[in-house]
Amino acid sequence: MTDLAETPVVRSAWVITAKERRTLLVSVLIFIAASLVPLVFGGYVLQVMISIVMYTAFATSWLLFSGPTNYIALCTAAFFGIGMYVTAGGIDLMPYPALIALSGVAGAALAAIVGLATLRVSGVYFVIFSLGLAELVRQIMTWGQHVFGTMSGLYVTIDRSEPMYYWQLLLATAVIFLVGWGIGRSRLGFALRIIGNDEVVAVHCGINTARAKVVLFIISSTFASMIGALVAPRWGYVEPVVAFNPFLSFQVVIMALLGGTHRLWGPLLGVIPFTLMWELISIEFPDQTTLLLGVSFLLIVYVIPNGITGLIEDAWQRHGKIGGSIQGPLQRALVTSSGTLKSLLQRGKSGNA
């Protein structure tokens, strides 16, 4: 379960606690620092930074859906590819900003179809459906191009500088974070927490659980498509096999899991080490990338199931600071039951300040 924000959700959207103000301030500072990067670095370092920002955007938007629902979405590449193709296909017909928006719409449409079909039944079916989605879209695209006689590759001839890509992606990431934070404070976020605690109760409280999940999935996928639109000019040449490469989906999942799916900034903590490590692996062991991808999955599932944020928070707890938020995992709640109710209320009060 993800607490997309740590606020007591019964508050109004315009009430921000002191703790939240701190978090916001830190985030703004990080954002400003990050935006200065292209002014200081160039060349290879900037390229790596662009990768990091792009994957952070992907992984965080992945988290928006897969965090609260615990449904592992394996279809990021499908939406990314759609965004690329909408942009590449329309580049001579429409202004670029319109194409970015259109990519979002296309992604949302596909997400709506997939969501409505799969999210009303068990989550496993969704995962399976998402597994082959990129491949499916690719097959249909390739067939479509055969039928309509277009070439299989499309050129996107917009000129942008590297720093420009970086800033665009950084802005996209910031927007995704803001949306995630906003969802956490909203009725939708509350509904998702309830669903994550007990879906039967959620339904009897009047929550249309399927619709909540579909809305989340649409939001998450729209972002993925728009990132595709942002990145298309950088690739220059868009081809089905490359645009719909499933490995993108799998890497995004690993990074998010590595970082931890219980906090909005979790994926960021996974993206940075993984991107750096992957750069190294691509250089040193280019033929073993698949094998090492598999090993990473296993390491995460068996050794760090709660990700890096899980490790950090466990360390915090062991050092005596029980985090201010009462709404932590059930284990933490049970651990404190040795105290009296009164001391609990005191801790509760300070947590909900």
User: Which residues, 84 to 103, sit near other proteins by CB under 8 A?
Assistant: none
Q: Per CB under 8 A, does 139 bind other proteins?
A: yes
Q: Which stretch binds other proteins (CB under 8 A): 87-95, 97-105, 266-274, 333-341?
A: 333-341
User: What is the distance between the alpha carbons of residues 163 and 42, in angstroms, rounded to a whole number?
Assistant: 8
The distance of Cα 57 from the centroid of its chain, to the nearest Å, equals 6
Q: How many CB atoms lie within 10 A of CB 90?
A: 18
Whole-angstrom distance, CA of residue 320 vs CA of residue 228 = 44
Q: Which is nearer to other proteins, 93 or 200 (CB)?
A: 200
- Check if the beta carbon of residue 253 is closer than 8 Å to that of residue 72: yes
- Looking at beta carbons only, is 1 or 174 nearer to other proteins? 1
Q: How far is the CB of 157 from other proteins (least distance, A)?
A: 28
Contact set for other proteins, span 216-255 (CB under 8 A): 246, 250
* Separation in Å, CA 98 to CA 89, 101, 103, 170, 258: 13, 5, 9, 20, 35
CB nearer other proteins, residue 246 or residue 266: 246
- Between 25 and 124, name the residue whose CB sits nearer to other proteins: 124
Residues 288-327 that bind other proteins (CB under 8 A): 288, 290-298, 300-302, 305, 326-327
Binding of other proteins by 277 (CB under 8 A): no
CB 229 within 8 A of CB 169: no
The residue written with tokens 């060349």 in the block is 43
Concatenated DSSP letters of 167-225: HHHHHHHHHHHHHHHHHHHSHHHHHHHHHHH-HHHHHHTT--HHHHHHHHHHHHHHHHH
Residue 166 structure tokens: 């970086």
**Site membership for other proteins, residue 27 (CB under 8 A):** no
The interaxial angle of helices 266-284 and 246-259, nearest 10 deg, is 130
> Nearer to other proteins by C-beta: 225 or 261?
261
Q: Answer yes or no: are the C-beta atoms of 81 and 224 closer than 8 Å.
A: no
- 281 interacts with other proteins by CB under 8 A: no
Q: Which amino acid is at 25?
A: L
Helix 76-90 and helix 43-69, axial crossing angle in degrees, nearest 10: 120
Is residue 205 within the footprint of other proteins (CB under 8 A)?
Answer: yes
Please, which residue, 42 or 144, has the CB nearer to other proteins? Answer: 144
* Under rule CB under 8 A, residue 348 binds other proteins: yes
Instruction: Please select the residue that binds other proteins; options are 2, 4, 5, 9, rule is CB under 8 A.
Output: 9
182 in contact with other proteins (CB under 8 A): no
Residue among 19 and 120 whose Cβ is closer to other proteins: 120
Q: 28-67: which residues touch other proteins (CB under 8 A)? A: none
Closest approach, Cβ 273 to other proteins, in A, equals 18
200 forms part of the interface with other proteins (CB under 8 A): yes
91 near 156, Cβ under 8 Å?
yes
Could you give the string, one character per residue 107-126, with x where binding to other proteins holds by CB under 8 A and - elsewhere?
A: ----------xx-xx-xxx-
CB of 313 to other proteins, least distance (A): 14
